[in-house]
Amino acid sequence: ETGVTQTPRHLVMGMTNKKSLKCEQHLGHNAMYWYKQSAKKPLELMFVYSLEERVENNSVPSRFSPECPNSSHLFLHLHTLQPEDSALYLCASSQALFLTGNTIYFGEGSWLTVV
């Protein structure tokens, strides 16, 4: 069991659906991340939040919309996705940003299939 919990673990959605991925961290961390992991491709950083403020958005399409209501929770709202968005979406957290030796801890991931 990790200190970062993601739900749902599996999600199948149509291209016209709206769904959300949820992440909760129980580690008392101040920074949270969304990563995308596709087959045969390196891990891609999508968004970074620090103390509920978005600090990085790596050219992610607007059909992905993050939300960080507090430092323990992170959402990824999904709408009008494409089949190529099918991937494992990993949430992570770290104690803070700009911290020497900063370490990120990952959740189990949410498998997304867009049909």
Q: How far is the CB of 103 from another protein (least distance, A)?
A: 6
Q: Which is nearer to another protein, 80 or 105 (CB)?
A: 105
- Checking 61-68 for CB contacts under 8 A at 24+ apart, the result is 66/34, 68/32
What's the Cα-to-Cα distance from 32 to each of 2, 10, 63, 106, rounded to whole Å? 15, 21, 20, 10
**Is residue 107 a contact point for another protein (CB under 8 A)?**
yes
Counting residues that bind another protein (by CB under 8 A) gives 26
Q: How many CB atoms lie within 10 A of CB 88?
A: 15
Residues 41-80 that bind another protein (CB under 8 A): 42-43, 45, 48, 55
Instruction: Label each residue of 1-21 as H, E or C.
Output: CCCEEEECCEEEECCCCEEEE
Q: Which stretch binds another protein (CB under 8 A): 13-21, 59-67, 78-86, 91-99?
A: 91-99
Residue 111 lies near another protein (rule: CB under 8 A)? yes
Place of tokens 């104690």: 95
Q: Which stretch binds another protein (CB under 8 A): 57-65, 69-77, 78-86, 105-113?
A: 105-113
Contacts with another protein by CB under 8 A lie at: 2, 4, 6, 31, 42-43, 45, 48, 55, 90, 92, 96-109, 111
